[in-house]
Amino acid sequence: MSQISNEIATRDTGPAAQIEAYRDEYAALVPSHVNADQWIRLAVGAIRGNPDLMQAAQNDVGIFLRELKTAARLGLEPGTEQFYLTPRKKGGRKVIQGIVGYQGIVELIYRAGASSTVIVEAVRANDTFRYVPGRDDRPIHEIDWFGADRGELVGVYAYAVMKDGAVSKVVVLNRKRVMEIRAKSDSKNSEYSPWNTNEESMWLKSAVRQLAKWVPTSAEYMREQLRAQAEVAGELDAPSVAGAPQMPTALDDADPIDDGPIEAELVD
């Protein structure tokens, strides 16, 4: 009897074990194209391989599991640049915060099926950059790959080439605009924030997150396409709206956008 009690007392109830305990729930949340077993292995590995994350997850396992649910619903890989897992101070202790990364947003755009190419690039002081809205359909960005130093970050841009060959709205942000976006991040001052550990990636995210308002990021796009086809076939009376900013998606709930895309000339 005492042996059974000891086994119960020493049973692993930590964050990694909790992921395994809720395996079926996470498997039900991830999109059908995502391998649930691989997704769970990534989540477990992200925690076990980082003592800071493990401690933060142990401090409030409920918050940790909730953040993983967000990654699961979006079908993004936790603990990667698709979906960062970072410690965050809350109530005097560290807990887990999930942050959608730029690679995660790019993945959602590709997954929607409307875009054939997504371009997201940072511009540095010694690069050559030209873009005139209304004249150019896309920026011209020249980089001296063999130069000693490209210089500091001065801006970032993003656009998509749609499957019909059209170029989406082009988003161009200068340093001032990126810093305004950074200022709205509630984790910007944390040493673990991607703004401090992977700054260029967050500049890229700033642009592609703005782009996400203008190109599809979910299967809703495919449903609209089917709706349009049905309308042409005379099966529906209601018109389908095209060419307008997208309706809110799961991404907006997980990673709220600020005040929308900005087109601007880059400045030092």
Q: Which residues contact 90 (CB under 8 A, 6 or more apart)?
A: 60, 63
* Cα(46)–Cα(96) distance, integer angstroms: 12
- 88 with 40, same domain: the answer is yes
**Domain endpoint, select from 71, 100, 129:** 100
- Percent over 90 (pLDDT), the chain: 65
pTM of whole model > 0.75? yes
Residue 12's pLDDT band (boundaries 50, 70, 90)?
A: low
Contact between 26 and 69 (Cβ < 8 Å): yes
Domain identity same for 126 and 94: no
Residue 107 and residue 204 share a domain: yes
Average pLDDT over residues 4-18: 64
Do residues 107 and 208 both lie within one domain? Answer: yes
Nearest to 103 by CA among 67, 138, 73, 77: 77
Q: DSSP states of 128-185 as a string?
A: EEE--TTT-SS-EEE--TTSS---SEEEEEEEEEETTS-B-PPEEEEHHHHHHHHHT-
Whether 209 is in a domain gets the answer: yes
How far apart are alpha carbons 186 and 88 in whole angstroms? 10
- 203 falls within a domain: yes
Residues 207 and 108 in one domain: yes
- pLDDT tens-digit readout, 41-78: 999 999 998 899 999 999 999 999 999 999 999 999 99
Residue that is last in its domain, among 54, 70, 100: 100
212 and 112 in a single domain? The answer is yes
For residue 160, the number of C-alpha atoms closer than 13 Å in the C-beta half-sphere is: 27
Question: Residue 192 — pLDDT band, cuts 50, 70, 90?
Answer: confident
- Which domain, by its residues, includes 139? 103-216+248-254
- Cα separation, 97 vs 187, in Å, equals 9
Give pLDDT tens digits for 81-120.
Answer: 999 999 988 888 999 999 999 999 999 999 999 999 999 9
The answer to the question of residue 138 being in a domain is yes
- 267 domain-assigned: no
| 111 and 171 housed in the same domain | yes
Q: How many domains does the chain have?
A: 2
Domain termination site, one of 47, 79, 100: 100
In a domain, 266, yes or no: no
93 sits in which H/E element: strand 93-100
Q: Are residues 124 and 82 in the same domain?
A: no
Q: How far apart are CA 68 and CA 136, in angstroms?
A: 41
Dist. CA 115–CA 106, nearest whole Å: 10
- 264 within some domain: no
Q: Do 74 and 116 belong to one domain? A: no
Same domain as 40, residue 19: yes
The letter for the amino acid at 132 is V
- Is the domain of 109 the same as that of 73? no
Is 206 in the same domain as 133? yes
DSSP character string of 45-57: HHHHT-HHHHHHH
158 located within any domain: yes
**Per the domain annotation, does 184 fall within a domain?**
yes
pLDDT digits 0-9 by tens, 212-256: 999 988 765 555 555 665 666 665 544 433 445 565 566 777 787
